[in-house]
Amino acid sequence: MRGKVYLVGAGPGDPELITLKAARCLAEADVVIYDRLVDNRLLEGVPAKAELIYVGKKAGYHTLKQPEINQLLVNKAKEGKIVVRLKGGDPFLLGRGGEEAEALADDNIPFEVVPGVTSATAVPAYAGIPVTHRSFASSLAIITGHEDPTKGNSSIAWDKLATGVDTLVFLMGMSNLAQIADELIKNGRSPSTPVAVIREGTTPRQQTLVGTIADIAAKAANSGIESPALIVVGDVVRLRERLRWFDKQPLFGKRVLVTRTKKQASVLSQLLARHGALTVELPTIEIEVIPDNKELDRAIAHLPDYSWLIFTSANSVEIFFARLRALGRDARELGKTKLCAIGPATAAALERFGLISDRIPQEYVSEAIAESFQNEDISGKRILLPRAAGAAPELVTKLGQLGAEVNEIAIYRAVLPEADTDGSKKMLLAGEIDITTFTSSSTVEHLVSLLGSKWEAVNQTRVACIGPVTAATAARLGVRVDVVAKEHTIPGLVQALIEDCRKGKEVS
């Protein structure tokens, strides 16, 4: 039985630029053979059982040579596997995808080509440079910059290319930048023609250097800009200052440490990335469900006896209703019991179970929940409060003072994760993090514990907390807090960071 190979374009760097078909292929793959410039986040969509094989290449070092990669594709397909060959950009544009397709065709291996967004147009677009424009350029040429233009048998017709095309885009040309500039001038292109060198385009690490054909090589050498980079030559480069958008985002290039659980980190990371941040995930907590929770089971058996069911986190909602299902019950058990959610994220978690919160306090903190009951007679009424072990006692105390009978049940613990965090930790200790975010008191406590005697490295970054309770924990532990979100939610935290960065730019 023979399998099938998909030659898939991963796009230019931004993982959100992958196509829907490419994402589907990854989700169905048995084997993924991927390149150096592929964003690792794309591999999160691959089945856990799939085999991942890295075949990346960089100057002076090839994991596998091209003929070996070709044979690997053939061999894996002959094993009956669904194989995804994941290549940066587009597989048929200077990506040697044609050679791989030939090898598959020669062995009668079924294959499909899934085109990708090419860096030749996407990277200039992210730098604010349209490769064509009615007033500046009607023609475009995409050229390999990897070929040495000074060798005698160059396949590039420099005499025609230099003046025959409005916009020139060179891929993989950084090592030959000076020679490319010399050939263009020698063959008639004006030395004053604008040039842009764009490194790691479409990612938060993007750098753009602008010059002319005459001075770009010297500027690049002085700036230290290096591959992977793309070179754009032509008058369209003049539009960059007016049209640049990606590197003007408020958080662009900021390295932000995300300390949430691995499962929850992606939500915050995605929001930060949309505003240009480079996120570094260092999960400091893991949610551990308390097993064999007889107290919770007894409460579920008597749910209609409670007037209110209060949730102080999305975690508590998910764990509570998971247990409800495990006991063979559903939301009908609630009867007339009303629901209170601490904030919109917790309310959204309830909505996923088809339930609408009866109450969300104006401030998304536990104290505000108690305050919301002050004008209501809850004397003698039973309230069920399933939440994290070790949560602050103030909410239970204040509800009790109002006469309520509160049944507080610990249903999960926030524990130190077992995941390998050495890479992220080293970045923090090396001073490579700009901003540290905390979304709960546990994230602060556990990061300080994780860093041990070197915990003060956190204070070398700007510290942002989701709310006053988290900020108070940080202050108690000696962590300096620079930003506290006005709205105690993940979007509120991101907005607070945006405002803080804008203030910083105004001051500078």
Residue from 81, 172, 174, 434 carrying the catalytic annotation: 172
115, 130, 476, 497 from 447: Cα distances, Å: 43, 44, 14, 20
Q: Of 54, 1, 57, 48, nearest to 29 (Cα)?
A: 48
Residue from 14, 35, 39, 90 carrying the catalytic annotation: 35
For the question of residue 35 being annotated catalytic, the response is yes
For the question of residue 186 being annotated catalytic, the response is no
d(CA 208, CA 199): 6
Q: Are 300 and 275 in contact (CB under 8 A)?
A: no
For residues 363-402, b (16+ Cβ closer than 10 Å) or e, as one string?
bbbbebbbeebeeeebeebbbbbbbbeebeeebbebbeeb
Q: Are 303 and 330 in contact (CB under 8 A)?
A: no
d(CA 262, CA 271): 15
For the question of residue 182 being annotated catalytic, the response is no
Other Cβ atoms less than 10 A from the Cβ of 241: the count is 9
Residue 89 DSSP symbol: B
Pairing of strands 435-438, 255-258: parallel
Other Cβ atoms less than 10 A from the Cβ of 486: the count is 12
- The SS3 assignment for 508 reads coil
Residue from 57, 219, 262, 338 carrying the catalytic annotation: 57
d(CA 192, CA 177): 16
The dihedral built from the CA positions of residue 12, 13, 14 and 19, taken in this order, carries a sign that is: positive
**Catalytic residue list:** 35, 57, 172
